[in-house]
């Protein structure tokens, strides 16, 4: 039974289901991941997941926890030792201080932290400014919390920079928050310190909150990452979201954190205690170990991703896929406009004809149309083969545009 049929088979006496959720499309990322997962010789560049496994010390911490029978609940806020480690790290790395008791919450990934932050901040009808293209969950999460997402367009021509004047033009009396990811998914863009300072000035001028998704913080290749809440005037109106999935290759452990002023953090904890209770005990112990001993692993992974970034983006440009060089995360977001296909058509045909899975740019909002997202967190031989297959595909679309000859 197809998805449309599933949602329209209710027995007549049944009342309608939630209209907001009914109107929300499935994740465009997961759709292409599921298609690619059906078997065959598919090279998947669709899901943003490191191809590294969790560092040895992290895995050993999880094993010890199981062997010692440490499988119980923790406090709702999470293990104090982990919260203290996180707050110490934030102070040392970014110069921003949080109270581990009242201003730090351990969440089930950044995804839960985002959901909690929006639920606490928003009242029905409040507007949230969201730079676009954006991660697929941003707009739905705003709507699930009763808010109205307001897209603010960014462009490849200037590295998907978020212009303060565009943000200001989108502000209305109902503006409640700005949701920002830097480094960004799907573009790999990073926002400069100066641009972030201008956004903080706007937040103070017009009195709105800042929700900062910094899950790709450690995967910054050009310049240094700026923690939004560390900027003057930002801390008291910012919810800082981060976690261990990307930099520590701990996606399946589902461990993240949120830091915010106590008035916000305690309400987030209140929702968390009723809906999630706590993050997995085993994962929290593993995260403590990651912060204490996995730094060499992080540095090695980031250096390797940087090498892949340069190789893969150069290859895309050689093929005629105009691609801004991403400064963070592990995504390339090349333009496909010159080839005359929608992003859905391009990704679908590429998967069918050459067994390479990408994500259509349209999955990341209307501003993403004309692009596709490629995750380069795969082994170099797979990336090289993906480029060869892309070259064959592009040559069939418009011979002569690709520099890699069919069959090479």
Give the rounded percent of residues in the chain with a pLDDT score beyond 90.
Answer: 87
CB atoms within 10 A of CB 117: 32
Q: Is the pLDDT of residue 35 over 80?
A: no
Interior/surface letters 182-218, b for 16+ CB within 10 angstroms, e for the rest: bbbbbbbbbbeeebbbbbbbbbeeeebbbbbbbbbbb
DSSP bridge partners of 257: 106, 242
Estimate the crossing angle of helix 380-397 against helix 295-318, to 10 degrees. Answer: 20
What is the spatial distance between Cα 131 and Cα 151, in angstroms, rounded to a whole number? Answer: 6
Give the span between the Cα atoms of 48 and 328, in whole angstroms: 13
pLDDT at position 181 over 50: yes
Q: Mind listing the pLDDT tens digit for each residue in 311-342?
A: 999 999 999 999 999 999 999 999 999 999 99
Q: Which fold has domain 56-293?
A: 3.40.640
Strands 148-153 and 372-375 turn out to be: unpaired
In angstroms, what CA-CA distances link 119 with 128, 269, 377, 381? 12, 11, 32, 43
**CA 341 centroid distance within chain:** 26
Query: What does the radius of gyration of the chain's CA atoms come to, in whole angstroms?
Result: 22
| CA 316 from centre of chain | 22
Q: What is the mean pLDDT of the chain?
A: 92
174 backbone φψ class: left, alpha, beta (φ>0; ψ -120 to 50): alpha
The 3-class secondary structure across 148-174, one letter per residue, is: EEEEEECCHHHCCCCCHHHHHHHCCCC
Q: Which DSSP state fits 210?
A: E
| Confidence label for 9 from pLDDT (cuts 50, 70 and 90) | low
Token code pair at residue 247: 């930099």
Q: Which H helix or E strand runs over 113?
A: helix 109-121
Please give the C-alpha separations between residue 227 and each of 127, 190, 212, in angstroms, as whole numbers.
24, 11, 9
Distances (CA, A) of 335 to 30, 323, 324, 362: 21, 6, 9, 12
Residues 6+ apart with CB under 8 A from 121: 145, 176, 177, 209, 211, 239, 264
pLDDT of amino acid 99: 98
pLDDT digits (tens, 9 = 90+) for 231-283: 999 999 999 999 999 999 999 999 999 999 999 999 999 999 999 999 999 99
In Å, what is the CA distance from 186 to each residue of 62, 137, 220? 31, 12, 14
Q: What is the mean pLDDT of residues 173-187?
A: 98
Q: Is the pLDDT assigned to residue 403 strictly greater than 50? A: no
Closest by CA position to 211, among listed 320, 131, 99, 323: 131
pLDDT of amino acid 48: 85
Residue span(s) of the chain under CATH 3.40.640.10 come to 56-293
d(CA 302, CA 342): 33
Domain with CATH 3.90.1150.10 in the chain: 3-53+296-394
The domain defined by 3-53+296-394 folds into: 3.90.1150
Whether the model clears a pTM of 0.85, i.e. scores above it, the answer is yes
What residues does 332 pair with on adjacent strands? 374
Distances (CA, A) of 359 to 163, 247, 408: 26, 22, 24
97, with CB counted inside 10 A (0-12, 13-18, 19+), is middle
Is 408 a residue whose pLDDT tops 70?
Answer: no
In the prediction, which pLDDT does 217 show? Answer: 97
Q: What is the pLDDT of residues 334-390, one digit of tens each?
A: 999 999 999 999 999 999 999 999 999 999 999 999 999 999 999 999 999 999 999
Residues 308, 378: Cα–Cα separation, whole Å:
8
**Does residue 399 surpass a pLDDT of 60?**
no
């Amino acid at each position: 039974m197809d998805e449309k049929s599933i949602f329209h088979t209710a027995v007549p006496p049944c009342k309608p289901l939630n209209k907001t959720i009914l109107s929300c499309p499935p994740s465009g990322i997961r759709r292409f991941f599921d298609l690619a997962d059906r078997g065959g010789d598919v090279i998947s560049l669709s899901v943003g997941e490191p191809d590294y496994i969790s560092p040895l010390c992290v895995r050993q911490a999880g094993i010890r926890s199981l062997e010692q029978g440490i499988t119980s609940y923790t406090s709702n806020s999470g293990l104090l030792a982990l919260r203290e480690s996180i707050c110490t790290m934030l102070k040392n790395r970014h110069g921003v201080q949080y109270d581990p008791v009242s201003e730090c919450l351990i969440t089930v990934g950044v995804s839960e932290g985002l959901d909690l932050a929006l639920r606490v901040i928003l009242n029905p009808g409040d507007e949230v400014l969201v730079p676009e293209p954006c991660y697929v969950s941003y707009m739905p999460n705003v709507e699930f919390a009763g808010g109205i997402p307001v897209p603010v367009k960014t462009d490849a021509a200037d590295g998907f920079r978020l212009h303060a004047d565009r943000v200001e033009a989108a502000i209305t009396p109902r503006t409640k928050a700005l949701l920002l990811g830097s480094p960004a998914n799907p573009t790999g863009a990073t926002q400069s310190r100066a641009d972030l300072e201008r956004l903080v000035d706007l937040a103070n001028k017009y009195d709105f909150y800042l929700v900062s998704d910094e899950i790709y913080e450690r995967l910054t290749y050009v310049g240094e990452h700026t923690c939004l809440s560390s900027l003057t005037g930002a801390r008291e109106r910012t919810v800082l979201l981060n976690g261990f999935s990307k930099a520590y290759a701990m996606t399946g452990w589902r461990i993240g954190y949120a830091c915010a002023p106590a008035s916000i953090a305690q309400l987030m904890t209140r929702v968390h205690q009723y809906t999630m209770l706590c993050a997995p005990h085993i994962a929290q112990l593993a995260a403590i170990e990651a912060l204490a001993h996995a730094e060499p692993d992080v540095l090695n992974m980031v250096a390797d991703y940087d090498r892949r970034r340069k190789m893969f983006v150069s290859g895309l440009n050689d093929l005629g896929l105009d691609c801004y060089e991403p400064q963070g995360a592990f995504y390339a977001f090349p333009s496909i406009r010159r080839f005359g296909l929608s992003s859905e058509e391009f990704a679908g045909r590429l998967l069918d004809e050459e067994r390479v899975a990408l994500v259509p740019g349209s999955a990341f909002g209307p501003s993403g149309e004309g692009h596709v997202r490629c995750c380069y967190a795969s082994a170099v031989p797979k990336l090289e083969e993906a480029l060869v297959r892309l070259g064959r595909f592009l040559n069939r679309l418009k011979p002569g545009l690709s520099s890699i000859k069919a069959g090479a």
